[in-house]
Structure 1
């Protein structure tokens, strides 16, 4: 039995319906507040979703359906003891401690009630992301948000992280709040600020990503001419590099140079080498070396656990395999969107920037699946748009 199930009692199951109802009402309230009007569907979707997830959780209690990650023991002990080891990151010692522990107490120290809050935060993040995509592209077709919510309901990573006491639910909520704020006319708003604050106390690396996206969206809103954009980029690239280098040193204690990036990856790789699923060593002495390796790192991060620059028997790791298949499905479905890349160029840029930044720092093959989640969710929005387009185009089939 998993560590966090060992203290389960009858009281945990008796309180479950009350938390179920609370989470359902919160999700419905949020969805109806920010999404396109679609009351009947939203009521049915979230009720069915919570029943489906609760069934998965109860099956996992007896049959170990959800994998047990190496970090799970650590986070379970933090929840149960209220203490965080000093050698952990700020995101664990501060963010997780002051977010997760109060939620666990609010759950009456019941892991199933806590998992319902996990589900709540994950799907709140998805609601805000769907609303952000609606606002970015002035969507009026409810099928886009319907498909997005449906994809989110069956996404393997969302299912898995709903039933683990890790930080992913908070990350997804931070991402959703930030993107919803980014889609507003006024870029400085409460949603964006909340997303930045939440990311800052949980995983400071996300702040670098949010900083770049804010700058990209600011330029996009200005609707500048191509010539002026080129001039601005010529000046912005060195300024951006020195700014990111400063932030990287201040936050991560890493200089953005080929040598330091190479050393960081290789040292981390050594620590996890015995796991057998680390990336190969890199030997970067110039930016040309980095450029040569970048395509392989980019696509390995994107397509993990499938082989690009390294092979593992991916079919033996079912959760990671399922997530990889889901990503391939999203890429396949989104092909019509890629053909109209000019219209969705900014959203595609958001995805590319995240994958590019993460690929530089990733050193663990299976860790890439976990850290790829934000890119998967952004890609999900494009796949939802493509599915809505296909439904409209081939709706005549369902008449017969």
Structure 2
């Protein structure tokens, strides 16, 4: 069955799509060249990503080969009708108000909304690169050469930016947050971190649980005081989080059974591909299961907890292979990467633990791990460029 957001496309709509293609291509080229100062060769790769995604969407409107993503119905409805879907969770309320403005730009057409999303996604990638150049200028040339190619090969980028979804905005918010994180850690600049945090959490409110601890630990790390005071503040912060979780979120005795009940309640309305029904009777049960939840987060769509044929979801399977290759490069160059990019590794690890233990859907795991995969792409781009240069020298000899 053809996806609902393709309904009603007329022949002249494709001419309008081509006009928007030209507009967005020009805007992306101008932004990349003037504002982000990206090298021409790298910029062409980013523009190729936009054109490739554009072509795939147009082709999919005829042959319907891309997988249908359930959440796309919400955003398609918001753009085409200008109304908020009552069945949708409240965490997209900011995107709803944003969609009123985007609806004007896109002529209330979900397909043009997808093109806008792709442009936002490309700008997010620009932002990641610019933040890298600001902090790691010596490593930037190598990263600028390889990172665009990795983005071109990124299956999750294709899967979740060729449907009317919100991933592009979340990645843009994460790119701003990441830029602020680096600027505060290395240059003690608060404003970019706070701005990026607000924008990121506006697009996905649940990320507040990720952002607030990061800000707290950064502030603690940069605080000019002795270790006794820092230790006291650290313990106070952990206690505060515990109390909030106990009396506001759970509002019941903080037991393994209650936490299992909370997780299982979320799973009941999570649709297809859910995993990880909990039966915890002790905290040791919870810890051992969470280790497997993190593994499932990394390995999705390979099944650990449910029966699923990964070959039936080829793009998610390709994304796993792509992620595995990146992780292999990271492991092989771990010493160098750890020395130069320790804060980024710790940020990615915290994200992995936080969202790996709270995830419960194979397909959502792929979407939600996209930010840390992009961070791994940035960290491994330098070693990859060095490898290609060595091979080139050997070939010339």
Q: Shared fold by TM > 0.5?
A: yes
Count of residue correspondences? 391
d(CA) in 2 for partners of 1:135, 1:257: 46
Structure 2: 5+ residue stretches without partners: none
Give the corresponding residue for 2:68.
68
- The alpha carbon displacement at 1:229 in A equals 6.2
Give the corresponding residue for 2:362.
365
Give the corresponding residue for 1:192.
193
Q: TM-score, normalised by structure 1?
A: 0.86
Structure 1: 5+ residue stretches without partners: none
1:300 to 266, 291, 296: 296
d(CA) in 1 for partners of 2:73, 2:140: 44
- The alpha carbon displacement at 1:119 in A equals 0.7
Give the corresponding residue for 1:388.
385
1:247-284 deviations in whole A, cap 9, x for unaligned?
Answer: 7976x6788764443222111223347x3x32232233
Give the corresponding residue for 1:22.
23
d(CA) in 1 for partners of 2:361, 2:129: 30
- 8 Å contact from structure 1 (residues 12, 113) kept in 2: no
d(CA) in 2 for partners of 1:199, 1:74: 20
Give the corresponding residue for 1:91.
91
d(CA) in 2 for partners of 1:194, 1:248: 29
After TM superposition, list the pairs within 5 Å mapping 1:302-321 onto structure 2: 302-321=298-317
d(CA) in 2 for partners of 1:363, 1:159: 22
d(CA) in 1 for partners of 2:9, 2:388: 45
Moved more, 175-184 or 127-136: 127-136
Q: TM-score, normalised by structure 2?
A: 0.87
Seen in structure 2, the aligned counterparts of structure 1 residues 387 and 168 have a Cα distance that, compared at 3 Å, is: same
Seen in structure 2, the aligned counterparts of structure 1 residues 271 and 45 have a Cα distance that, compared at 3 Å, is: closer
After TM superposition, list the pairs within 5 Å mapping 1:252-271 onto structure 2: 258-271=256-269
Aligned CA RMSD, in angstroms, stands at: 2.9
1:352-384 deviations in whole A, cap 9, x for unaligned?
Answer: 111111122212222212222222222221222
Give the corresponding residue for 1:290.
286
- 8 Å contact from structure 1 (residues 28, 42) kept in 2: no
- 8 Å contact from structure 2 (residues 220, 230) kept in 1: no
- 8 Å contact from structure 1 (residues 27, 120) kept in 2: yes
- The alpha carbon displacement at 1:241 in A equals 4.7
